[in-house]
Amino acid sequence: MPNEVRRTKMRRAMEAQNLDALILRLPENVLLLSGHWPMIGVVFLLFPREGKATLIFPECYRQEVLANYEDCDPVSYLLGGANHPPMFSAVGKLLRERVQASWKRIGYEGNFETAAPSWNAGEAIIPAADSIALYKEVFAGTELVDATELILSERIRKTPYEIERMKIASEISCFGMAAFEELVKVGISGVELAAIVEKTIMIEGTGYRDAFRVRAFAQVSTGDAETHVSHRPNIVSTKRPMADGDFAVLELGVVADGYWADRTRVRIAGTARDEQVRIYETVRKAQEAATSAIKPGVRAKDVDAAARNVIEAAGYGPDFPHITGHGLGFGYHEPGPILGPHSEDVLEEGMLTSVEPGIYTAKFGGVRIEDDVAVTSSGSLVLGPYRKVCN
């Protein structure tokens, strides 16, 4: 099986916490342990510590499920028809048939404040009160345990298979960065750039290294005022035409079959001002210093310091307001590791982090450069390398 390492690791972690099974519904966690990335969030995975897992899915998605599930019994239920029973009734019946009398403790996703979307990103369907009620009814007599911390702690260290899949997503992101790089010019708007980047990634990324379902989420800020605040978690791409000397900052999320990349590149329309080039080169050097500092055993705060020291030495310390990086892979953002000045994380082989220092000024605009970097046994590996130039 392609990712048997992951399932073995999880079962060992469950044994350490005396969990007999996990019941999972978030698409990112279904993918983690079954190999299937749900079309929408109505797929359930019953993952026992011993024995084979059961993947419960709507019959209408049989083709997609059978194309990429691993080491589990796929069982379908009817969904969406005028005469079909309610989802929780149908799923509850299938779960009850598979509960083991010996089970005492079952883990569930009780505290995921942030969730990655399914393929249908336009409508998130996530477990909430009705799901918990179903679990209490189906697993009556067992102790339901919030397994969020266990799941996230296991996800923080990726397997070689997972890193390779995330590398595909990062390589696909290069199609969008190339389109962005080519098209930034006087007169084009952030909205146009974002739309073209997303279109390019879906067209050129679908089928790349057998990627089947590819989607992009692009945000482009342009000009001094917009890029000055492009450190915010989200920005609004506008129809304002770029002027000569404007920065354009591309914030880009890419998902390929459930595995995520997070990239940022910057370009200047027309003629760059000298100070803009200096800012850009400072960020580039800071990003490369942080990447070079990554290896097992290094404190995450020291990686942040490697970037921050470069920026502070150049006189831009107050203009770097955010952390240097965050975990990712099964989502656009994951809670660890955190490359920040107050982080207590220590890097381990298999961790995956963004590296994204930035400088944001009101007078000259903002710059951020971001790559996804895996911690290897001897150092770091940039997934999907792409050149760094501003004009």
What average pLDDT values come out for the chain (391 residues) when binned by 10 residues?
92 98 98 97 97 97 94 95 91 96 97 93 91 96 97 98 98 98 98 98 98 98 97 95 98 98 98 97 98 98 98 98 98 97 98 98 97 97 97 89
SS3 47: strand
Strand partners, 218: 252
Element (H, E) at 160: helix 160-183
Fold of 4-155: Creatine Amidinohydrolase; Chain A, domain 1 (3.40.350)
Q: Is 122 helix (H, G, I), strand (E, B) or coil?
A: coil
Contact 204, 341 (CB under 8 A): no
pLDDT confidence of residue 81: 87
The domain 160-383 is placed in CATH, from the list 3.90.230.10, 3.40.710.10, 3.40.718.10, 3.40.50.1370, at: 3.90.230.10
As a whole number of angstroms, the distance between CA 250 and CA 230 comes to: 9
**pLDDT score, position 1:** 67
Q: Which residues of 136-161 are buried (b: 16+ CB within 10 A; e: fewer)?
A: eebbeebebbebbebbbebbbbbbee
Q: Using an 8 Å Cβ cutoff, are 115 and 126 in contact?
A: yes
Residue-level pLDDT at 2: 83
Domain boundaries, the chain: 4-155, 160-383
User: Contact at 8 Å (CB) between 106 and 86?
Assistant: no
In the three-class reduction of DSSP (H, G, I as helix; E, B as strand; rest coil), residue 315 is classed as coil
CA-closest candidate to residue 328, choices 273, 258, 269:
258
Helices (H) and strands (E) in the chain, counts: 11, 16
Place of tokens 């390779």: 164
